[in-house]
Structure 1
Amino acid sequence: MFTGIVEQIGTVLEYHNYDDSESGGKGVSVTITDASQVLGDCHIGDSIAINGICLTVTEFNENTFKVGISPETIKRTNVASWTKGSKVNLERAVSQDVRFGGHYVQGHVDTVATIVSKEPEGNSIIFGFKLRDSEYNKFIVEKGFICIDGTSLTIIKVDHNEAFFISMIKHTQENVVMPLKSIGDEVNIEVDLTGKIIEKQVTLALENQIELKSSPFTQMIERIVEEKVENYMKNQK
């Protein structure tokens, strides 16, 4: 679990499509440097969010750490676009004494979005985004939470084209990587978990009501259908 409050900006040191070392696991691995702030209490197997992706530390020293990347992560995120020198947001998994300044973030990226606009507003920047996978648009709610590249942000507007917008204050600009990105670049998106839980519970409740013929929901639907049929038959006379 994370908070979406970035602790440090790190730098991609190495990206290996096939790492046959013991810590590489014969798969894709990424090594991050400039990371001393998040490594002071690190252990092998710890979780660190890199641009919002919860990844497992397989090797580390005082300033650098390595993580393995699964095929599912490559499919869901923008990790394949990382190259040596890329700047990334870093956050350690929360401990019991962490105050939640952001919101509950799993580090399980749902999809990516493309930056479609970037406009100054006073000392803030208004960023606009469009999701790659439209099925997640239903979780994008004005004034709701969203995690973008591991940063907890508030959606300020959703337009008729399903683009959504956030306002980034000066302090955040100075402590995350998004201001370094340009229109057309991709970012990792984790929608608010609360919306997904509510959708699942409502869907299950409706399915259970539909399957049970004596349920209030089924009886209501039957009554509505009967009334519609009755009115139709009257109008045909």
Structure 2
Amino acid sequence: MFTGIVELIGTVQEYNEFDESSSGGQGVSVVIKDAAPILKDCHIGDSIAINGICLTVTEFDVEAGTFKVGISLETIKRTNVSSWKPNSKVNLERAVSQDVRFGGHYVQGHVDTVASIVGIEPEGNAVNYSFQLNQTNDDKKYMNYIVEKGFICIDGTSLTVVSVDDNNAIFSISMIKHTQENVIMPLKGLGDLVNIEVDLTGKIIEKQILMAVENQIEKEDSLLSKMITKIVDKRIQKYLK
């Protein structure tokens, strides 16, 4: 679990598409450098969020300030990992411990999809960013969980949604000066992709409601079933008249 409060900006040192080593998992692996401050209490198997993606440390060197992670094909499909190159900057956050103050919001590190930056507008010392989800049915559904003044995690950064355009799958956030100085967003431009994790709370509520409704419909003597039957009977009677 993470908070969406970025601890450090790291740098991609290596991006290996075919890593045959045991720590590379015989697949895609990434080595991150400039990470010494967050490796002092690191152990093999620990979770570190890189641009909001929860990844497992398979190798690390405190003195060199580097660590390595393996990346699955599912993660590559869902995220902007394929755009990472040597010297790319990335947001880093360790998984929370018992003594961490919860300053952001509940973040799993399970990226739902990506969005492209479609607007960058300075406003005082803040910057307003607009993002558009991919215009596919699967991606657009995530707009159901993006609400004005709600939480959203963008490239591992906990932010507040300030506006939503459901029809065009566009939403925006406002980033204060302090955040700009401690995350990678200002290094990106129009058209660049960012990782999106919507607020888990919305998903949980939706599933609970759907399950409750389905259970009510399946029971003939439930209040909902009786209500539906009553409405249908009224409509039929009205039609027969």
Task: Normalising by structure 1, report the TM-score.
Answer: 0.97
Number of residue pairs matched?
A: 234
Match status 1:190 vs 2:188: no
Identity %: 71
Choose the corresponding residue for 1:220, options 215, 227, 233.
227
- 1:23-63 CA distance string (max 9 Å, x none): 11211000000001111100000000000000000000110
- Matched position secondary structure for 2:41: coil
Tell me the equivalent position of 1:58: 58
Distance in 2 (alpha carbons) for counterparts of 1:135 and 1:15: 31
Mapping of 1:46-125 within 5 angstroms?
Answer: 46-62=46-62, 63-125=65-127
Structure 2: gaps of 5 or more residues = none
- Matched position secondary structure for 2:30: strand
After TM superposition, which residue ranges in structure 1, 4 or more long, deviate above 3 angstroms? none
Amino acid in the other structure paired with 1:169:
I
Amino acid in the other structure paired with 1:97:
D
- Matched position secondary structure for 1:204: helix
* Shift, 1:83, TM fit: 0.4
Mapping of 1:200-219 within 5 angstroms?
Answer: 200-219=207-226
Tell me the equivalent position of 2:40: 40
Distance in 2 (alpha carbons) for counterparts of 1:230 and 1:22: 71
* Shift, 1:22, TM fit: 2.0
CA-based RMSD of the aligned residues comes to 0.7
- 1:149-203 CA distance string (max 9 Å, x none): 0000000001242310000000000000011100100000000010000011001
* Shift, 1:135, TM fit: 1.2
* Shift, 1:88, TM fit: 0.2
Distance in 2 (alpha carbons) for counterparts of 1:142 and 1:45: 37
Amino acid in the other structure paired with 1:223:
K
* Shift, 1:131, TM fit: 1.1
Amino acid in the other structure paired with 1:38:
I
Tell me the equivalent position of 1:134: 140
Amino acid in the other structure paired with 1:136:
Y
* Shift, 1:19, TM fit: 0.5
* Shift, 1:3, TM fit: 0.2
- 1:86-110 CA distance string (max 9 Å, x none): 0000000000011110000000001
Distance in 1 (alpha carbons) for counterparts of 2:16 and 2:198: 29
Distance in 2 (alpha carbons) for counterparts of 1:184 and 1:222: 51
Match status 1:153 vs 2:155: no
